[in-house]
Amino acid sequence: MKRKNAAAALEPDDNNEQRQELIDAAAHLFASRGFESTSMRDIAAHVGKTPGSLYYHFDSKDDLLLAVHRQAHAWAENILEQSKIGTDDPWQRLESICIAHMQALLQRPDYAVVVSGTSDSAGLHGRVIGVRDQWEKVFRNAIRDLPLTSESDRKYVRLVLLGAMNHSQTWYRARKESPAALARKMVELLRYRLFD
C-alpha cells in the first residue's frame, strides 16, 4: 500500500486513535470468539484494515492481548485515582477499589471477559499475566489493612470479592443498579455479620 501522507499518518494522536481502535477490536473478538480462535487477520478485517497495518502497531497477537490487559488495568487505576478519598478507614478504601473494579468490569464488558480469563485458550484457569497480578496487588494491599484476625480470613475476603464481582458480568443489567452501588453492597455484606 502506498502511503500518501506518511507524515500525517504518524502523528501521535492519529496513531493512538488507530491503536485504540485495534485494541478495542481485539478485546471484542477475544471476548466473543476466544483468543485462540481469533487471528490477526480477523482483527484487521474487523476494523477494515490490512493485516500489514496491524503489524505496524503490534508485533504479535500476544502483544495485543497484553495491550487489552494494560488498557483494562489503566481504566481501573484511573477510576481509583479519581476516587481517592483520603480515608484511613480500610473498609472504605477497599470499597473504593471494588467500585473501580466493578465500573471497569461492567462498563467495558469485552475487556472484562478477556481480563478475567473466562474466554481465553487456557480456559477456566486463565492466563496469568503480570498486569492482572498488579491489580490484584492493589486489592491485596487494601485487604491487608482490614481488621481481620487471620491470614486465611484475608485470603477468603479477596477470593470472595473477586469471584462475586467477576460473576456479576453474567447477571448485571444496566439501569437497574449502578456498578458502584453493587460494589458497596458486596463490601457491606462481607464487613458485617450475616446473623444477629
Contacts of 122 (CB under 8 A, 6+ apart): none
- Of the ranges 5-13, 93-101, 137-145, 167-175, which one interacts with other proteins (CB under 8 A)? 167-175
Tell me the C-alpha distance between 82 and 169, whole Å.
23
Site size for other proteins (CB under 8 A): 45
Stretch 90-129: interaction string toward other proteins, x if CB under 8 A: -----------------------x---xxxxxxxxxx---
Note whether 10 binds other proteins by CB under 8 A.
no
Is residue 135 within 8 Å of residue 98, measured between CB atoms?
no
Residue of 2, 84, 173, 193 interacting with other proteins (CB under 8 A): 193
Q: Which three cell numbers stand for residue 59?
A: 508485533
Tell me the C-alpha distance between 140 and 152, whole Å.
13
The footprint of other proteins on residues 19-38 (CB under 8 A) is 31-37
Is residue 30 within 8 Å of residue 67, measured between CB atoms?
no
Tell me the C-alpha distance between 169 and 108, whole Å.
10
Note whether 165 binds other proteins by CB under 8 A.
yes
**Choice between 104 and 182, CB closer to other proteins:** 182
Note whether 164 binds other proteins by CB under 8 A.
yes
Q: Which three cell numbers stand for residue 32?
A: 466473543
State the nearest-atom distance from the C-beta of 129 to other proteins, in Å: 14
Note whether 84 binds other proteins by CB under 8 A.
no
Contacts of 92 (CB under 8 A, 6+ apart): 85
State the nearest-atom distance from the C-beta of 118 to other proteins, in Å: 7
Note whether 196 binds other proteins by CB under 8 A.
yes
Q: Which amino acid is at 128?
A: V
Tell me the C-alpha distance between 4 and 25, whole Å.
25
Binding site for other proteins (CB under 8 A): 31-37, 113, 117-126, 152-153, 156-157, 159-168, 170-171, 182, 185-186, 189-196
